Structure 1
Amino acid sequence: MKTIMIHEMPNHAGETVRIGAWLANKRSSGKIAFLQLRDGSGFVQAVVVKEVVGEEIFAKAKSITQESSLYITAEVTVDDRSTFGYELQVKDIEIISVAIDYPITPKEHGTEFLMDHRHLWLRSRKQHAVMKIRDEVIRATYDFFHMNGFVKVDPPILTGSSPEGTSELFKTKYFDEDAFLSQSGQLYMEAAAMALGKVFSFGPTFRAEKSKTRRHLIEFWMIEPEMAFVQHAESLEIQEQYVAHVVQSALKNCPLELERLGRDLSKLEKIKAPFPRISYDDAIKFLIEKGFDDIVWGDDFGAPHETAIAESYDMPVFITHYPVGIKPFYMQLHPDRDDVVLCADLIAPEGYGEIIGGSERIHDYELMKKRIQEHGLEESAYEWYLDLSKYGAVPHSGFGLGLERTVAWISGVEHVRETIPFPRLLNRLYP
């Protein structure tokens, strides 16, 4: 007899199979028991009929507890009433392990309780769906960049300096010198782009930012492409093509998961390139007209400002050409202005905020050196980075996409803490 997983059931309609699973929930009605099973690949209902299986097996079905593990022998049948389209007609049950007093019951639980039991909360239907969508975004990311000639490169996690030039870094000792957990692999990816042309990285980043908003994590994952001989306008086109690709891939390959989360698919179906663009200058004027009287040119945008701008569009929107003073040292100046840089933030619809930050990078040696000095950075720590603009410098651009914010937007979940398996928050390092 073939042992299969739930997601393989459509290939075995009419066959008797064996499945290893956990009991997510159950109900019974007289001489019939309905077992809601999960095996990691999906969820399915198993029907246990007393007249078919006999007293002993039916008693097992009625007594088995939530999250107990078991083997089910059953016939795969078509069920048009199920969103999955199939169910199991049980013939035999073998209990592997009995779970006693499983803490997460079908009733409502508070967020802190669920976060304390994150290792178990991951088993729920909603969390399972979010993790599957996260996996699809990652798969689609590799697919997009490899199709477009990018090479995957892994920058270091331990670094001796900060690409953003901020103090929000986790400091550690590297033998007899100071080191930091990386907040971005960008500078190293620029070096890789000078060797390999078009590259991307995918890895964890760390921000010691004391923020408790629904958009922030202390540890999160970033996709960071860098592209030689690519200037600002072309970079924006690549960004919108990439985001459209992952959204459409999620729609195509995760329909059950999106339905389980109650996501409005019509809002995702329209996400196709090109995306609208608004300059920082025009965004300031727009916000003042909307009643944000306290904002002035030169201020950075907070969550309320980004949300107000995003609400005017039903697509992700680029905000371009921010002031020099609020952006990192490595961004290329506008060719016709010395007060703004060639950059853009991509703001997701529906209040999910910035999902991409990107820019054309400086490739002039003297200008790069000047900007490092203006930002008060230690030049010796950036000597290797300055070499990139000394030896064969070319125009180049790059960006970083925050995985968790993107997954939150596609999934429609409220908080990014649900989009990473084990979130690290300001008040949480457990489990």
Structure 2
Amino acid sequence: MRKATIGTIGQFVDQEVLIEGWLHNKRSSGKIQFLQIRDGSGFIQGVVVKAEVPEQVFQLCHTLTQETSIRATGLVRKEDRAPSGFEMTVTNVEVVGDSENYPITPKEHGVDFLMDHRHLWIRSPRQRAILKIRAEIIKAIQSCLDNDGFTLVDPPILTPSSCEGTTNLFHTKYFEEDAYLTQSGQLYMEAAAMALGRVYSFGPTFRAEKSKTRRHLIEFWMIEPEMAFADHDENLRIQEQLVAHVVQHILAHCALELKTIGRDISKLETVKAPFPRISYDDAIKFLQARGHDIKWGEDFGAPHETEIASSYDRPVFIERYPVGIKAFYMKPDPNRPEVALCADMLAPEGYGEIIGGSQRIDDPVLLQKRYEEHQLPMEAYQWYMDLRKYGSVPHSGFGLGLERVVAWICGLEHVRETIPFPRLLYRLYP
């Protein structure tokens, strides 16, 4: 018997195949039973006709319970009314593993219950679709960067210091030394860029922020490209080209998944480069004109970002923030030293910042001054200073938060659905 997956079932029309999967749901209309079967690659309806199968097979199908694992044999046929375009006329079913009293039923469940059963919740059509889209986003990001001359480099997860201060880092002991779980691989990517030109990292990062907003996770994944001989403007061009490519890739490759989660794709179809750019100065004036109590020199919160982004049908850059509210390594604008050559990319529809980036300081004298201003220990950052002493060049980079991009592209209310097993302020289980 030819084994097939539901995802490739279209290759087997009018052929009898074996599918190994789980019973997602079922219904009956007397002498016909309809089995909703999933195998991870997709969902298909198996039709069991009493007159066309042995009695024991029909009775077995009648007793099957939700999430029982099965092997189903049947004839594949086209069915335009089916979501996948195909159905299977079942000829035989074999039980592999029983499932009794499956806790997640078609009825409504509370968020806490679903999160407690996240290991099972990810089997549902909606959660599966989100995770498939996440995987395609990762694929699109990496292929775009790989094809643009970037090399993947893996920075350490355990670090002796922070790139933005240790207040929000998880502390641990590294034998006799202090260490931290990384909040960014950026500093190491700068070193890698001096060796390979264009590089990027992709991996988990950790921030010990006691935040419970819908935009924050404790453990999340970051893509952090870094480029030698790249200025601020080139940095922004690469960012917008990357994000536009990812969105168009998802529209082309995840139509069924987007339909499953009910995403309004018209909101994504407009996402094409170039993206609009506004200065921090103009953003402050814009917010003040709309009644927000914010002054020059203050950072933006979620309401501010939402207000700004709502005026655009695609992501928007806010550039040149005050130096005082940005990280120590960001290069000041030579024509206006009180602002940095940096930018945040805000996603539309209220999803906030999805990218933060800047041109980096390449002058060792200025970097030394920043060390002193931020009270950074020279012994911990000497290696970072070496990058400015031995062949320093203009260079830029950015960090893209994967889960926020997934939330925006999928149109999700909360980032907890964007990652298989989210780590939140009060959740470390399962």
TM-score by length of 1: 0.99
Structure 2 partner of 1:356: 355
Structure 2 partner of 1:56: 56
Structure 1 partner of 2:14: 14
Structure 1 partner of 2:42: 42
Q: How does 1:228-307 map to 2 (within 5 A)?
A: 228-292=228-292, 294-307=293-306
Pair 1:313 & 2:312 matched: yes
- 1:54, CA displacement in angstroms? 3.0
Distance 2:263 2:165 in 1: 38
- 1:265, CA displacement in angstroms? 0.8
What letter matches 2:59 in structure 1?
A: A
1:175-233 CA-to-partner distances (Å, cap 9, x unmatched) read 00100000000000000000000000000000000000000000000000000000000
Give 3-state SS (helix, strand or coil) of 2:76's partner: strand
1:324-352 CA-to-partner distances (Å, cap 9, x unmatched) read 01000000000111110000000001111
- 1:171, CA displacement in angstroms? 0.1
Structure 2 partner of 1:223: 223
1:101-135 CA-to-partner distances (Å, cap 9, x unmatched) read 00001100000000000000000000000000000
What letter matches 1:56 in structure 2?
A: Q
What letter matches 1:417 in structure 2?
A: R
Pair 1:407 & 2:406 matched: yes
Structure 1 partner of 2:389: 390
What letter matches 1:218 in structure 2?
A: I
Pair 1:156 & 2:156 matched: yes
Distance 1:318 1:120 in 2: 39
- 1:311, CA displacement in angstroms? 0.4
1:400-429 CA-to-partner distances (Å, cap 9, x unmatched) read 000000001111111101000000000000
What letter matches 1:120 in structure 2?
A: L
Give 3-state SS (helix, strand or coil) of 1:423's partner: coil
Runs of 4+ deviating beyond 3 Å: none
Distance 1:349 1:192 in 2: 33
Distance 2:383 2:419 in 1: 34
Give 3-state SS (helix, strand or coil) of 1:400's partner: strand
Structure 2 partner of 1:369: 368
1:26-85 CA-to-partner distances (Å, cap 9, x unmatched) read 111111111111101111111111111132111111110000000000111101001210
Give 3-state SS (helix, strand or coil) of 2:88's partner: strand
What letter matches 1:228 in structure 2?
A: A
Distance 1:404 1:5 in 2: 29
What letter matches 1:388 in structure 2?
A: L
Structure 2 partner of 1:179: 179
Distance 2:240 2:414 in 1: 24
- 1:98, CA displacement in angstroms? 1.1
What letter matches 1:255 in structure 2?
A: A
What letter matches 2:105 in structure 1?
A: T
Give 3-state SS (helix, strand or coil) of 2:59's partner: helix
Distance 1:240 1:158 in 2: 31
- 1:372, CA displacement in angstroms? 1.3
- 1:270, CA displacement in angstroms? 1.1
Give 3-state SS (helix, strand or coil) of 1:271's partner: coil
Structure 1 partner of 2:418: 419
Give 3-state SS (helix, strand or coil) of 2:25's partner: strand
1:253-291 CA-to-partner distances (Å, cap 9, x unmatched) read 111000001001111111110001110000000000111
What letter matches 1:390 in structure 2?
A: K
Structure 1 partner of 2:198: 198
1:288-343 CA-to-partner distances (Å, cap 9, x unmatched) read 01110x20000000000000001000110000000001000000000111110000
Distance 2:318 2:161 in 1: 28
Structure 2 partner of 1:332: 331
Distance 2:107 2:334 in 1: 60
Distance 2:315 2:197 in 1: 28
- 1:166, CA displacement in angstroms? 4.2
Pair 1:211 & 2:206 matched: no
Note the residue ranges of structure 1 that are not aligned, 5 or more in a row. none
- Count of residue correspondences: 430
Distance 2:142 2:378 in 1: 35
Distance 1:413 1:101 in 2: 29
Distance 1:233 1:82 in 2: 48
Distance 1:308 1:5 in 2: 46
Q: How does 1:19-34 map to 2 (within 5 A)?
A: 19-34=19-34
Identity %: 66
- 1:18, CA displacement in angstroms? 0.1
Structure 2 partner of 1:140: 140
Distance 1:231 1:47 in 2: 60
Give 3-state SS (helix, strand or coil) of 2:399's partner: strand
Distance 2:344 2:117 in 1: 35
Distance 2:378 2:279 in 1: 32
Give 3-state SS (helix, strand or coil) of 1:267's partner: helix
What letter matches 1:385 in structure 2?
A: Y
CA RMSD of aligned residues (A): 0.6
What letter matches 1:68 in structure 2?
A: T
Distance 2:166 2:396 in 1: 21
Q: Which moved more, 1:54-63 or 1:5-14?
A: 54-63
Q: Which moved more, 1:157-166 or 1:190-199?
A: 157-166
